[in-house]
Structure 1
Amino acid sequence: MTHPLATRRFTALAAATVTATALLLTACGAGEQDSTDTKTSGGTSTAADRAGTAQAKKDVAAWAAAPQWPDVPKLGKKVDLKGKRFTYVALGDQVPVIHGVGVGVQQALSAAGATVETCDGKFNPTSIASCLKTAGDEKADGVITSFIDYQMAGPAFDQLAHQGVKVIVGGVAPSGGKKNDANLAFYDNTPRVFALHEAMAESAVAQLGDSAKVVWAKLMDSTTTRTASAKGIAKFRELCPGCQIDSVEFTTVNLDKLGLAISAALLKNPDTNAVIVPVDTMVPSVLQGIQSAGKAGRVKVFSSSSDLAGLQRVKDGRQASDLGTPVLYEGWRFAHAMMQLLAGDDVSKGDQLVTRDFTGDNVGSLTLTPQKYLSDDWFGGSGYRAKFLTAWGLK
């Protein structure tokens, strides 16, 4: 996704946006190829390749169906939210994943008796700080932010905590040397981002086996996005050491150049049969690059986040796989972090991968509408809610 970002500060915001849409992701030149990722197959299947393909197929088969919702850790003590008021501060509420997480937060805290207002940070540090200040001025009982690095608005975060407002800095790793305390804590779900990138590698190997010849689109916005790509590439190599993999590097602010980079990589490696892309919002640029290289219909695309456009591409045969993100469930996870903070418990990390691999085999039965995106239908229903309510002592 592209935003009119003109400063380094805004580049950091764009990086956080991509982390979100991945629900969950220092500029380098777009289109640069990293030859260290290249490993050309000798053309002969090895025992390691066959074993890796079998493992990938087994894992991916388990993700084809609706997920089994993980257990939720019980609170150390019951928390009474009746009549309490909370603010959800979105990095940018117009992004479907960020908005969807906010809807989940509202559902969760409302089920516990609280009310939730949303404040749109509009990808602007000033707007974000204003949202935080307003929450403090209005004496909110708690604030949950989504995909906003602490360093983006450190003084505003600190002022809230100093006022005694409970604050969850959600969807990001700790930054700026800040650590959890009694009033402010991080809900760090970056381990799930890394696991999702590994899952994309598995999906590609499961479909292509030892014939996989991949170009990986590496997002270079931040340590999180670079690490995520590195883990995905390492997983691919582990599963299919004889397969070919190359990469291109790009940043969110240079997304308009990604198509050219993909086209150049395909011309350099004409036998490439797959491209792996971090999130669905970037797939249109990749498809343009594939078409420009004269490879339309001959290169499979693998991505993640399961937004509406992504699943429609899967249904139409223009995308091979979409590793899904259940956004409402993620919102309940954010709310659970707040409940843990209020109970005086340690805030859990988001380290459990909950996904569904949407492919042509299972997407046909889904109703693909904007309304269904903000429901649990694509993921088999809302069974997770009872687990949260039980953990909170409300069921």
Structure 2
Amino acid sequence: MHSKLSRRKPLAGAVAALAVVTALASCGTGVSSDANSADKTTGGGVAAQRAGEQLEALYGSGTYQEPASDGPKGQKGYDVALVIAGVQTPTGTKVAEAAQEATKVLGWGLSIYDGQYNPSEYQEGIRQAIVQDVDAIWLYSIDCPLVQTALDEAKKASIPVFSHESADCSDVDPKSESYFERTLPFAEGDFSDWGQGLGEAQAIWLLAKRGDEANIIEVSVPELVVTKAVSVGFNAKMKELCPKCEVTTVEVQTADFGPPLQEKIATALLRNPDANGLALSYDDLATAGGSAAVMKAARNDSLLVVAGTNFAPTMDLIRDDKGLDAGFVYDENYAAWAAVDMINRYFAGAENSPIGGPGLAVVDADHGLAPEGKDWTTNIDFRTAYKNNWGVS
């Protein structure tokens, strides 16, 4: 067994960071105007009918699939390094916790490196893993072009790299070299297919509610491969179901999260007084300024807001009607366990899973909200399925 990484970034700070992010969502929550309350109603027309039919299939378990019913036994005696883009958001924190849970079941040594949303730190994490000669490097939410130099070094050291919600260099540019040994499959297909599915789900929900009268502000984060795919899927589905509907795209960066993001969205709302919908690429945009901007602008009653809604803070925004109404949900626990299974299959010399278990679903105030204070989770018992395959309890 290889020794664990000696340099680990502490996760304790993630709790405090999460509190800050959550607090941003409650800042500036002015009282919304009752004059526009009638605007927050269901639309009609052909677009609403077609979208409504597709929306029904996204409620409940949505596109999630059961894990494969067979697979190799759990492989013992391995050390894995998980390099996470950052644990300052609920998503990163949840992935770290789920990875610890799943690898502990297999008895693996796991080292977690917090990239702090800084590409130079991502590369440092990969290099630390190389120095310690781990058996595998697991990247979460770190696209290959950002760390290509360090990945070259990992390749020279013959350490396989596995991707979880990360795009390979060849995904971004077909002429580029591939650096990932394996990539986590999704029910939708590959990473880009899944990202487009998230955007399609947002468009379907908004059109089911707004119909032919939809006038949407889309807030996109084009610097990330997955959020760029979300935007592609969103706009394609809007054009498919309602070609005459208006979409105004506002581009932001992860560096904007917090007051700058809130200001950019507030400006977009001011410039688009007739907009009746707002699409945010994923949940962090809601908690890090988006929902607060809606409330402060007194547009909560006239706008339907959709994002991602995995975590308790965003579930509460929907439940309390504070600048968020719906969104796609994604169980990071399931995805992390599926990633561990992907790596275990490699260690065992087996092929990748023949199906993509993790997928997406949609929740709103009337469908599928998690209990108060809880994150959303799929009702598929993936833990038992993987344990049975691995031969552990």
Which TM-score applies when normalising by structure 1?
0.73
Q: Is the 8 A contact 1:264 1:293 kept in 2?
A: no
Q: Where in structure 2 are the equivalents of 1:302-321 lying within 5 Å?
A: 302-318=306-322, 319-321=324-326
Name the residue aligned to 2:23. none
Q: Give the stretch that moved more between structures: 279-288 or 234-243.
A: 279-288
Note if 1:271 corresponds to 2:282. no
Q: SS where residue 86 of structure 1 aligns?
A: strand
Aligned CA distance change for structure 1 residues 349 and 211 (closer, same or farther; 3 Å)? farther
Q: Which of 189, 200, 203 is the matching residue for 2:202?
A: 200
Note if 1:361 corresponds to 2:359. no
State how far apart, in whole Å, the 2-side matches of 1:267 and 1:139 are.
Answer: 54
Q: Which residue type is aligned with residue 163 of structure 2?
A: V
Q: SS where residue 135 of structure 1 aligns?
A: helix
Name the residue aligned to 2:384. 386
Q: Is the 8 A contact 2:221 2:251 kept in 1?
A: yes
Superposed displacement of residue 310, structure 1: 1.2
Name the residue aligned to 1:335. 340
State how far apart, in whole Å, the 1-side matches of 2:264 and 2:334 are.
Answer: 35
Name the residue aligned to 2:217. 215
Name the residue aligned to 2:89. 95
Aligned CA distance change for structure 1 residues 339 and 251 (closer, same or farther; 3 Å)? same
Deviations 1:83-117 (A, max 9, x none): 32222121212222122122222222322332322
Deviations 1:137-171 (A, max 9, x none): 33322221211223333343333343343321332
Deviations 1:277-301 (A, max 9, x none): 1122222533454456553422121
Note if 1:62 corresponds to 2:57. yes
Aligned CA distance change for structure 1 residues 134 and 257 (closer, same or farther; 3 Å)? closer
Aligned CA distance change for structure 1 residues 145 and 269 (closer, same or farther; 3 Å)? closer
State how far apart, in whole Å, the 2-side matches of 1:288 and 1:306 are.
Answer: 18
Q: Is the 8 A contact 2:162 2:343 kept in 1?
A: yes
Q: Is the 8 A contact 2:212 2:245 kept in 1?
A: yes
Q: SS where residue 193 of structure 2 aligns?
A: helix
Aligned CA distance change for structure 1 residues 249 and 363 (closer, same or farther; 3 Å)? same
Q: Which residue type is aligned with residue 273 of structure 1?
A: N
Aligned CA distance change for structure 1 residues 265 and 358 (closer, same or farther; 3 Å)? same
Name the residue aligned to 2:129. 135
Note if 1:108 corresponds to 2:113. no
State how far apart, in whole Å, the 1-side matches of 2:232 and 2:74 are.
Answer: 43
State how far apart, in whole Å, the 1-side matches of 2:276 and 2:358 are.
Answer: 27
State how far apart, in whole Å, the 1-side matches of 2:168 and 2:100 are.
Answer: 24
Q: Which residue type is aligned with residue 326 of structure 1?
A: D
Q: Which residue type is aligned with residue 226 of structure 1?
A: K
Aligned CA distance change for structure 1 residues 232 and 348 (closer, same or farther; 3 Å)? farther
Percent identity over the alignment is 20
Note if 1:157 corresponds to 2:151. yes
Aligned CA distance change for structure 1 residues 125 and 179 (closer, same or farther; 3 Å)? same
Q: What CA RMSD, in Å, does the superposition of the two structures yield over aligned residues?
A: 3.2
Q: SS where residue 367 of structure 1 aligns?
A: coil
Note if 1:84 corresponds to 2:78. yes
Q: Is the 8 A contact 2:83 2:112 kept in 1?
A: yes
Superposed displacement of residue 348, structure 1: 6.2
List alignment gaps of at least 5 residues for structure 2. 1-42, 171-175, 185-189
Superposed displacement of residue 211, structure 1: 3.0
Q: Which residue type is aligned with residue 276 of structure 2?
A: N
List alignment gaps of at least 5 residues for structure 1. 1-44
Q: Which residue type is aligned with residue 304 of structure 1?
A: G
Superposed displacement of residue 201, structure 1: 0.5
State how far apart, in whole Å, the 1-side matches of 2:242 and 2:328 are.
Answer: 20
State how far apart, in whole Å, the 2-side matches of 1:68 and 1:312 are.
Answer: 24
State how far apart, in whole Å, the 1-side matches of 2:353 and 2:342 are.
Answer: 7
Name the residue aligned to 1:32. none
Aligned residues: 338
